[in-house]
Amino acid sequence: MEYRPLGRSGLKVSKFCLGAQNFGIPGVTDVAEAERLLAASLDAGINVIDTADIYGESEAIIGDYLSRTGRRDDVVLATKFGVKGLTTDPNGKGGSRRWVRRCVERSLRRLKTDYIDLFQFYRFDKFTDIEETLGVLTDLVREGKVNAIGMSTFPPELIVESHWVAEKRGLVRFRAEQSPYSIFARAVEGHLLPTCERYGMGVLAWGALNGGWLSGAYRAGQPMPADSRAARMNIDVAHPGVQHKLQLVEQLTELARSADLTLPQLALGFVTEHPAVSSAIIGPRTVAQLDQCLTAAGTRLSLDVLEQIDKLVEPGTYVDASPGSCMSSNRGDSGFTAEPFRKPAQRRRPR
């Protein structure tokens, strides 16, 4: 397993990160399978685990396993805060001092640890000054409860603003960004990834297999596998956007075959080839899927293969720019769509 710097945080992270969003979901990854995934991942050299407070039982499963096995110190443990969970509290989300404090204490308790290695702000909060959020995060770092802070799916202009505020006010800096990046979702190549490089931030790339589209499970002219994400979310196979993706999958599969690779190896190799990417988050449901991803641990794509990918999917673009996420029931690849695009009223003057 290759280890890379997480920006200039001083942390070294494995080329692949175990994403734990599925942990504890009945019919997807039960507790026993989650623990098998944790054991197999750590044994394979993966040293970073990513979860979030809104991922159901995920934090508790990870905490139980690490405390019981004594492997906490082997792991760069990353979790996220900021998105509203199952609460009726009107203050139960965002980046306010009140909410961040509650989130960190709850995550520490569930994870059964004294510290979180990477505490990530899960989507920006337009109602709270970034100085307010950075202030409480700075306190948490100084108290030893958090080692480094990160953000998830922030636009590049807010990354720049956060660093300006941190420098001006003497606060800790965000050291990592979690962004959607895959062969089918390349918009971050234009501004976001270069911004992260410029400010010394590592990137944890999520959706490298584009919600299963680049796993090799979905093929043109064949039904979606019954246990697949696409089947669970009732993806409309007849939709032109979906048909376009299936066509590209066939072309990319042939490209992978010509390079003596599988499609997942091609997809993961593409993401980890970008110099801004510290680690690609993989979210296997089973150990068998993990093993499939791990075959790409030593994959390096040639310049010729990268150029062939560029011909199939233009750099800096989405295959499907529909609002939504490759991880949702919507087929869109954007991962995040700016609010004015989703809410036209924000583009109009009051009448």
**Residues composing the chain:** 351
Task: Decide if 180 contacts 276 (C-beta within 8 A).
Answer: no
State the amino acid at position 158 in one-letter form.
L
Give the C-alpha separation, 139 to 172, whole Å: 9
Best CA proximity match to 20, nearest among 72, 69, 55, 66:
55
Mark whether 55 is an active-site residue.
yes
SS3 281: strand
Strands 3-5 and 12-14: antiparallel
Residue at token pair 């996220």: 80
Element (H, E) at 279: strand 277-282
Give the C-alpha separation, 250 to 246, whole Å: 6
Best CA proximity match to 337, nearest among 17, 193, 346, 134:
346
SS3 24: coil
Q: How far is CA 74 from the centre of its chain?
A: 21
Best CA proximity match to 53, nearest among 117, 96, 16, 108:
108
SS3 25: strand
Which of the 8 DSSP states describes residue 124?
-
With 0-12 / 13-18 / 19 or more C-beta atoms within 10 angstroms meaning exposed / middle / buried, residue 132 is: middle
Choose the catalytic residue: 55, 122, 199, 318.
55
Which residues are known catalytic residues? Answer: 55
